[in-house]
Structure 1
Amino acid sequence: MKQNRYRIQIEQIEDTKGQPVSRDSLSFEIGNHDDVFHIVELMLAREDFDKNTSTAFAIGLKLFSEVMLENKDHPLFEDFKPAFVQFMKKLKSKK
């Protein structure tokens, strides 16, 4: 399957007490069959959440769903897959 390639980078800027954190960032590359930037735009247009939350939700969901898709026969997803399919149908049906 052809995939778009992405580099994901995350950096912790504060701890739970609001104190600055000096830690190396985490970066990795991953493929996804969807245009993740387009998915983010669609989520922002829905106005379900604020901009940061919509962006985090869209990216997190796409990362998770691609792992699940690529490992669909893994026993870890066996019980979860039917609920996830229903969730995605509901998400896609709401304009």
Structure 2
Amino acid sequence: MTAPMTTTAPRTPPRGKPPGLKWISDIEQWKGHDMQGHRYRVTVEHLAAPRNDQPVQPPLSFEVINHDEIIGIVERARAGGEFEEEEAAAMAVGLKLFTEVMLKRRSDPLFAEFEPAMRSFIGKLKARTRAAAAASAAAG
């Protein structure tokens, strides 16, 4: 006798944004599909001050949840070759941390006014990174 087949729905929505959702306005509802997001601990270490009479500050550490997989985004930004590796990492992490706050506070006028410019910037950045990665792959 064969056991009946059972299927379990995935705990998280499929990777990428489902069709029909606007960039910021509907993503929070989509995220509500039992999705916890990726959990990160961010640590910033102050290694040196510009002057000898300024103290080095203690490390700052905090935890965040982000709907994107930030490490993969950093790897793609670095692979694009448009920026130095450290610069690509700083930009990608900074943007992802900032835009997650924007998503959570999208009804705040401070962020609502900024959303169209940020959407445009991120679209251009993604296109540029993809083009640079494709050119790099073709060259070698």
Length-normalised TM-score, structure 2: 0.63
Question: Which one of 91, 110, 122 corresponds to residue 76 of structure 1?
Answer: 110
Name segments (4+ residues, structure 1) moved above 4 Å.
18-21
Distance in 2 of aligned mates of 1:74 and 1:23: 32
The answer to whether structure 1 residue 32 and structure 2 residue 73 are counterparts is no
Selected match of 1:60 from 55, 72, 94:
94
Given candidates 17, 34, 39, the residue that maps to 1:5 is 39
Counterpart contact for 2:43–2:62, Cα < 8 Å: yes
Question: Hey, what's the Cα distance between the residues in 2 that align with 1:71 and 1:23?
Answer: 30
2:38 and 2:69 in contact (8 A); partners too: yes
Larger relative strand fraction: 1
In structure 1, runs of 5+ residues without a counterpart are: none
Q: Identity rate of aligned residues, in percent? A: 39
CA contact (8 A) 2:49 2:56 kept: no
CA apart distance, 1:20: 8.2
Which of 74-83 and 27-36 deviates more? 74-83
CA distance in 1, matches of 2:127, 2:109: 28
State the alpha-carbon separation in 2 of the partners of residues 21 and 61 from structure 1.
Answer: 28
- Structure showing greater Rg: 2
Q: Where do 5+ consecutive residues of structure 2 fail to align? A: 1-30, 131-140
Q: Aligned pair 1:15/2:49, yes or no?
A: yes
| Structure 2 Cα separation of the partners of residues 35 and 25 of structure 1 | 24
Task: Output the amino acid matched with 2:78.
Answer: L
TM-score of the superposed pair, with normalisation by structure 1: 0.90
Alignment deviations for residues 23-70 of structure 1 (CA, whole Å, 9 cap, x no partner): 321100000011100000010011111111111111001000111011
- Cα RMSD (Å): 1.6
